[in-house]
Amino acid sequence: MNKKNILIIGDIIEIAILTFIGFATHGEAGVSFIPRMGASFFPLLIGWFLVAPWLGLFDEQVNSNPKLLWRVLLAMLFVVPLAAVLRSTLLHSAVQPLFVLILGSTNALGMLIWRGVYLFIVRRNK
């Protein structure tokens, strides 16, 4: 499997894990909440895969340089508002600013950790 596919799969897993954790912290981890989880997961996933390529987050030169990890945070600044609007449209509800802040900060941190682990493994295996 090439490195780009590893990043894509890892990004999907990271977003899925944090979506589940977010719902679990509210006691909403049951099967009945899967549609609502999807309403949070898919908009974030769509936003990520629309924005991340524009910032080179799937390019080998960017992903092998620890000085460029800040691009993950920049991407999330654009991804999260888009995801929040898509989510609110799906749920026919208003965008909650506190939700946007929490969604953005947790996913930015989660993605930064995942991409940092990826970078560490890639650099160690060279």
Position 1 scores a pLDDT of 80
Helix, strand counts (H, E) of the chain: 5, 0
Q: Is the dihedral of CA 12, 16, 17, 21 positive or negative?
A: positive
* Structure confidence at residue 125 as a pLDDT band (50, 70, 90): confident
pLDDT value, residue 126: 76
**What is the average pLDDT value for the chain, to the nearest integer?**
95
| pLDDT above 80 for 19 | yes
For 46-95, the pLDDT digits (tens) are 999 999 999 999 998 999 999 999 999 999 999 999 999 999 999 999 99
**DSSP one-letter string for 14-32:** HHHHHHHHHHHTTT--SGG
Single pTM value for the model: 0.92
